[in-house]
Chain A
Amino acid sequence: MFWRHNNLARRYMFAALVAAIVPLLVIAFLYDRYSVRLIDTISRSRTEGEVQAVAVRMGSFLRAQLNRLENIADLPETAQFLASDHPVMSDTLYDFLLLEADSPDVYAIELYSMEERLLATVPQTQSPPPVQDATTPFVSFEQADVIGPVLPPNGLPGWFMIRLPVSVNRAELGYVVMRLRLNSLTEKMGPLILTGIKSPQLVVFDRIHLNAAGHRVAAGSVLHSSNPILPGWHLDLVALTDKLNDRRQALRLTLLILSFALVLALGLLFFQLSNRLTGYLRPLKEGADALSRGDFSANVPENGPGELGSLARAFNHMRRHLRDMINSRVDIERRAALGNMAAGIAHEVRNPLATIAATVYGLKRGETSPERVEMYDEMSGEIERVDRAIEEFLKYARPSTPKREPVLVRDTFRGLRTLTSAQVLERNITLNLGGDSQLELMIDPAHLRQILLNLILNAIQAVPDGGLISLKVLHLCGATVLTVEDNGAGMDGATLDKVMRPFFTTRSGGSGLGLAVTAELTRANGGYIHIDSTPGTGTTVTLTFPDPPREAPE
């Protein structure tokens, strides 16, 4: 129903809208589905790799410290020191230990008896470690033991120890211990930090959780775990909040909202375009409907864009052309009919009228009764009036072919003033003549006189006593323009529309052919007539005679 009841523009727009939106929705759906999965896969894979890499680096760090410890244990001086009942450290051993301890990763190197009694600390200025309690983590690391981590309660940095037994000929003499900076290990987790989103933790026996700054922290939601660094030691990457997921969901939601907003915007855009297109096409349809009803006056707006504007202009051109063609055809047919009728009237009415007039004249001459003489005069008067009406009609229906010659308009104006002076004087009317006194017009002089006389007589009828009538002739824009202007009663629009039609009159006794004859004579002499009138103000009749085309000089 929707499809059938909508115009082509709407259907076209709807089809285009569907063509645009469906792929958009499909792409949005596919993007949402697969990109989320892809991001998850990539980020998980990458993060897992990074976590494992950091764990390997931490293991390598511990291995390097163990190597240094093994070097110390392999020194004969170390064995001699531990084997002695009264150990005194040689300068060689002291310097070697001092060199090994001269690292930001090492707090101290300590030598212990088999009974775990501290025998020496290097640097000597380092205070002995506190006794570990039973909860201190203790794990084996190859031949060594890793003790700790220990986190002092007073804010001082944490540490842990690697302890390696020293033996000669399989007889264990004591231990060499390296007390290490815990942060040297935890700092290696720094690259895994995503501030506020995820944080790495060094986890020892699932009860000690340390962040990269070496602080004890609470366990969190584990995203990834590394392989063990030591037995019981591993790395966890924990989500601090669900911010990462929140952000991703927010991004998804934003994209979806944007997609729907785009769909909505496209819909609105297409609806607007459709309305605009319909707005341009509707007047064309209405114009065509009007045309089919015979109304040639419906003008279609020509302000449409591109082809629509061209179409409207072409339509208007066609309408005007069609109107002129039909008017011309009707006029031709009307004239033909009028011509025939005029010939018939001339033959069938005027001839009997002439006979009747001659008979009446004869009867009147022989009549003695004054009453009958009066009646014969009445009859003669009516016969003359009918004859004049027929004369007017004949002038309209079969105007004489104009014999155009140069006419000095001023002379015609003056002649007409003289001709109408009696009526003008009688009613105290002012008749002004103006304009270019030298203007000549190529026109049939009898026709010009008839045209202007009709208009002046109409004006005299229209103006009140003491009124004003102006005749003016000017040459404007390649045409001679004559105007007859009065300050009479004027006409309303309805009257103005009909005033040029034959037999239309507002005066009793008028033939209704004066203006029709005037227009016809004007047209026959190559001009056209235009009437402006305002009720209560007056009427202006403008006659425009374009200059004849100049002949090319020989």
Chain B
Amino acid sequence: MEYEPVIGIEIHVELKTKSKMFSSAPCTFGEAPNSQTVPFDLAMPGTMPVVNQEAVIYGIKICSAMHMNIARTLYFDRKNYFYPDLPKGYQITQQFHPIGTKGYVELVIDGKTIKVGVDNAHLEEDTAKQVHLSDVSLLNFNRCGTPLLEIVSDPDMHTGQEAMKYVETIREIVTYLGCSDGKMENGSMRCDINISLRPKGSTTLGTKSECKNLNTIANIGSAVDYEIKRQTEILESGGSVDQETRRWDEALKRTVLMRKKTNAIDYKYFREPNIVPIDLDEGFIYDAVHSMNKLPNQYRVEFRQLGLTDYQIEELLSDREFVLVFEDCIKLGVKSPEILWNFLMVEILGYLNKNEQTLQDLKFSRDALVSLVNIVHAGKINSRQAKEVLAIMLEEGADPVKIIKDKGLEQVSDTGAIENFVDEVLACNAQSIADYQKGKDRALGYLVGQVLKASHGKANPTLAKELILKKIRPCGSNK
């Protein structure tokens, strides 16, 4: 029998707010354990939750980017269970009325666009971090209360590639909006993947496994592919898939069992009585939606119009900081997006990586970069010289015009000056002239090269070529 895999994904996105979801403690990382807490984070008796407005705004932006319906009234509920990392004995979440419902994201795979439904997105709070040592477990409440937006997809995906693309797309959205770091490797974005198989053509869902501990996008693809294979083998050998939670083992390159889901825990959900329903007025939602950063798909359209290739676009989009510089330079009147892309994504990126720096460390302004690109575009210096200038700009930050002048790099485009070089070269290269006249085109290139050499690289090659041709073209020839 042929099986169809069905995949649904839950993503917890840590929101990059200044303070926690329900308390005034700062959301900072890497501080001394338990230093980033207020009494509420430790569930001291009598403390009460206060909803973080910034988290609500971030929630609205992300939901809006996923084409969701935004709730007009916010409600919060309690999810009750005992665990050491859950100080209150319940998590405040949005079980019954999520901030966002029924939306979708568009994935582009091999040039084809597919839609994946997003069932809901709800605001909640993160738990504390547990550190298990040999004989004790330690608790760090710094993370406790960090705002999370849990994004629940519809079971619309069918391959590991689609799952990867979905997570990548969500990651792009939340990072471009500036709402999250979206770093899977350090947990600011965490994915749980539900996978089940069903006979092709069937509309009911099979028993699913849930896969956790996926800290790279590549792992998602591997885990999904592995699970599809594992479940297919079980079904084909006449067995049945158990409902269980599994985890991706990076070393073994396979999923391993964490726990069987026997009796699901009853979380005894009910409305959080300390948070009265919050009406979001239209103005508030409007402001949130209209202060959204541009999303990757909007950039894709714009950059395509500028003539960038798909490869160039995707390379650029992989870092929003570079996108912003690129966009600024376009606004500042750059004449060649292509040359700009090359400088940014080859020279500058290479330099920054080598020196472990970021765009913030650049020593020159965007105007300077634009000016350099336009000088090259106008043919005033050649690309080799441009690299030289850019290297100096990266090291010292001087103005490109000044560098060119100081170094005397400006191409000689004065016909008279070049003509002198041409005459000089032609006078001592009779053989090459003869070769060219016999039809050896290569000889022309050699002559131009000699002119450049004679001018110490300053002669405009196009002009030099024209002049040479004028002088050595056989009479009556069309060449």
A, B: real partners: no
